[in-house]
Amino acid sequence: MANPLSESDVRHIATLGRLQLSNDEIAMMTEELSAIVGYVDQLNEVDVEGVVPTAHAVDVQNVFRDDVVRDSIGSDKALANAPERDKTFFKVPKVLDQDTV
């Protein structure tokens, strides 16, 4: 049986999931995901006509809290684990290409 997923499908998913997978990983993942997707396809045997989906098993209701100002953790604590910072900012590589600026 052909794999339900092709390598190009897997490359597309990796892009969506922001994972820069190597060619070897793509090949392995294609095999493994195909096996898993082949298995989960058995859900097609279940008649779900008219069934309401469950996102949360216990009924959840909206919870309001008082609209009051409270202390936050402050920028030093918030930035303490940052891989790179500049004063009170998280520092990241450039977001826009030079051409698009």
Partner 1 sequence: MTTASDISESVREGSATATETIKSALSAIAKRDKDLGAFVFVCEDHALKQADRIDGMAADDKRRLPLAGVPIALKDNICTDFAPTTCASKILDNFNPPYSAHVTKKLIEAGAIVIGKTNLDEFAMGSSTENSAKCITRNPWDRGRVPGGSSGGSAVSVAAGMTPIALGSDTGGSIRQPASLTGVVGLKPTYGRVSRYGLVAFGSSLDQIGPFARTVEDAALLLGVIAGSDSRDSTCISTDVADYLGSLSDSIAGKKIGIAREYFGEGLVDGTRKQVESSLEKLRELGAETVEIDLPLTKYGIACYYLIATAEASSNLARYDGVHYGHRSKNVGDIVEMYSASRVEGFGPEVKRRIMLGTYALSSGYYDAYYLRAMKVRTLLRRDLEKAFEKVDVICSPVTPDTAFKIGEKSSDPLAMYLADVYTITANLAGIPAISVPCGFDDAGLPVGLQIMGPAFSEATLLNVAHQYQINTNHHKKMPV
- Which residues contribute to the site for partner 1 (CB under 8 A)? 5, 9-10, 13-21, 25, 29, 32-33, 35-37, 39-46, 48, 51-58, 60, 62-63, 65, 73, 77-78, 80-84, 90, 92-95, 97
For 1-101, strand residue ranges (E) read: 85-86, 89-90
Q: How far is the CB of 9 from partner 1 (least distance, A)?
A: 8
Half-sphere exposure of 97 (CA within 13 A, CB side): 2
Q: How far is the CB of 15 from partner 1 (least distance, A)?
A: 8
Q: How far is the CB of 20 from partner 1 (least distance, A)?
A: 4
Q: How many angstroms separate the CA atoms of 32 and 15, rounded?
A: 18
Q: Are 12 and 32 in contact, with CB atoms under 8 Å apart? A: no
